Amino acid sequence: MCDDWPHLAFSNPLRLVAAIFVCSSSLCVRGDELTGTPPSSPAVIGTEITANLVNLLFLFDRVASDPPRTATKNYLTRVSEPSSPLYPDYVEYQQGKIDRLELESRLPHVAMLGDSLTQNFHFSSLASSFWRARTEWRKNWFLDTDPDSESIFSVYERVEYLTPFVATEYNGAGALVAARGTQENLRKRLVRARNFPGQVNRVLRATRFPDLIMIWIGHNNLDWVHGLSSEELERPESHLQSLAAQFRLNYTESLQCLIDRAKMENHRVAILIFGLANIDGYLQARQKEELLHAKNPKLYPHLNSGSRSFESLKPPYQKNMARLALMMNAELRAMVADLKRRLNKNGHVRLEYSDALIKVDFSRLELINSVDGWHPSIEGHKVLADAAFNALHPSLVFLGIGTTKATRKTRLLVSNYRAH
């Protein structure tokens, strides 16, 4: 594939970048990202040059894609109602004491950090996968804005019924819980994805720090097979324990940066950590998919894309991948419990762990994408939205946003809000 680059450069730029996208996997040393070992200077320079060229070549895709940030369209009308908690801010706006940008900044802000399970993403052709990973914001369980009754009734739409607010996605396909200070490899640079530290840095650099931060990341850390010898593959226990410990260390480092910043804010901040998906359930679905694909290759046509880029999906390694998920979730629970004890004296920062998304039953085939048999389908995103929103209740109460339960009727009310 790499030998075809000169021909691809002149025939189809998207095919060229797709080729780079695939070949870049050989440049990716995940150990560097997980442990913080810096790459060599030539590798960094090569990555920078290639990524910048691709960004220049595809400058137009920023126009072709929805932005990863949206605010309630009619928020001005809603905050102008005397019953609105934000009415005093509206009065200041009317009096000319603050401008429209400042008024919007005073709306509640919600941020989502995560990987491809929080994105409208699945594998198909190389060019399509590249384009989808690079441009497909929204249309997912966190941030879908389509009012159609058949689309995803997202967390954004449900919270929007309670209050006008601003939502921002920071998630990215292939994102890892990596060590702070490490740079994204070429593949992530090509699709403009950032690892957990990079996502956290973007939140910290934002003009307005969020009121609510939701985090669902770590699934790419489950590829435990990477770089192991045959002997280590046969006796992986020590390696799995090491990965789980490193996962907690890396996660804690980045999360602590958010907590430290939250302590400095003059508003309440809630941070909700979701446990990793139930891998055992998903593997049950994958066995069914493999049987269906063997009988009819047109079903799940890109089923093998998963095991090509994620070696732990291969049958000999699946059991330990599921074990590692359990170990990492145990580390997440322990990490949150430890950090919460330190937060006891700080009343305006709330940290919580939720197993709501672990309970989503991914053994159900209808929840899995019918193209790659790996990522969530539209139905899967709908179920994830329901589970995630229900888990938000304590955080929303803490923030004083409201507690009305979202229903189908709520969706009609949301649509009516937008119409005025």
Q: Average model confidence (pLDDT) for the chain?
A: 85
Q: What angle do CA 205, 211, 216 make, to 5 degrees?
A: 80
Cα dihedral 200, 206, 209, 210 sign: negative
Which residues are within 8 A (CB) of 254 and not within 5 positions of it... i.e. 6 or more apart?
177, 180, 196, 197, 200
Could you tell me how far CA 40 lies from the centroid of its own chain? 29
In the block, tokens 């990490």 appear at 335
Q: Does the structure show a pLDDT above 70 at 418?
A: no
Contact 225, 234 (CB under 8 A): no
User: What gap in Å lies between CA 7 and CA 376, rounded to an integer?
Assistant: 35
Maximum separation of any 2 CA atoms in the chain, in Å: 72
Q: Which pLDDT value is given to residue 133?
A: 79
Q: Which pLDDT value is given to residue 136?
A: 78
Tell me the two tokens of residue 314: 């291969």
Which residues are within 8 A (CB) of 90 and not within 5 positions of it... i.e. 6 or more apart?
76, 79, 80, 84, 103
Q: Does the structure show a pLDDT above 60 at 316?
A: yes
Q: Does the structure show a pLDDT above 50 at 2?
A: no
Q: Which pLDDT value is given to residue 47?
A: 52
The fraction of the chain above a pLDDT of 70, given in percent, is 79
Cα dihedral 275, 279, 284, 288 sign: positive
Q: Which pLDDT value is given to residue 37?
A: 59
Q: Which pLDDT value is given to residue 41?
A: 53
Contact 118, 142 (CB under 8 A): yes
Three-state secondary structure call for residue 403: coil
Could you tell me the CATH superfamily of domain 2-72+107-419?
Answer: SGNH hydrolase (3.40.50.1110)
Position 309 confidence tier, pLDDT thresholds 50, 70, 90: confident
In the block, tokens 């399970």 appear at 117
Q: Which pLDDT value is given to residue 138?
A: 83
Which residues are within 8 A (CB) of 13 and not within 5 positions of it... i.e. 6 or more apart?
57, 58
Tell me the two tokens of residue 350: 């709330």
The per-residue pLDDT for range 158-176, each reduced to its tens digit, is: 999 999 999 999 999 899 9
Average pLDDT over residues 10-39: 51
Tell me the two tokens of residue 175: 């994102």
Could you tell me how far CA 12 lies from the centroid of its own chain? 30
Q: Does the structure show a pLDDT above 80 at 60?
A: no
Residue 273's alpha-carbon distances to 69, 156, 241, 357, in angstroms, are 21, 17, 21, 10
Q: Which pLDDT value is given to residue 5?
A: 32
User: What gap in Å lies between CA 198 and CA 176, rounded to an integer?
Assistant: 10
Strands (E), 39-127: 69-71, 109-114
Residue 172's alpha-carbon distances to 39, 113, 163, 195, 204, in angstroms, are 22, 8, 27, 8, 17
Helix (H) or strand (E) run with residue 379 in it? helix 378-391
User: What gap in Å lies between CA 185 and CA 27, rounded to an integer?
Assistant: 7
Q: Which DSSP string corresponds to 129-144?
A: HHHHHHH--SSSSS--
Q: Which pLDDT value is given to residue 227?
A: 83
Contact 385, 307 (CB under 8 A): no
Q: Does the structure show a pLDDT above 90 at 200?
A: yes
Position 29 confidence tier, pLDDT thresholds 50, 70, 90: very low
User: What gap in Å lies between CA 258 and CA 210, rounded to an integer?
Assistant: 10
Domain boundaries, the chain: 2-72+107-419
User: What gap in Å lies between CA 165 and CA 420, rounded to an integer?
Assistant: 16
Q: Which DSSP string corresponds to 141-165?
A: SS------TTS---HHHHHHHH---
Of 408, 361, 393, the closest CA to residue 380 belongs to 361
Q: Which pLDDT value is given to residue 317?
A: 95
User: What gap in Å lies between CA 407 and CA 389, rounded to an integer?
Assistant: 11
The per-residue pLDDT for range 239-288, each reduced to its tens digit, is: 999 999 999 999 999 999 999 999 999 999 999 999 999 999 999 999 99
Burial class (CB in 10 A: 0-12, 13-18, 19+), 372: buried
Q: Which pLDDT value is given to residue 61?
A: 52
Lowest-confidence range among 74-83, 113-122, 399-408?
399-408
Q: Which pLDDT value is given to residue 7?
A: 37
Helix (H) or strand (E) run with residue 212 in it? strand 212-216
More confident residue, 192 or 341: 341
Helix (H) or strand (E) run with residue 353 in it? strand 349-354
Position 184 confidence tier, pLDDT thresholds 50, 70, 90: confident
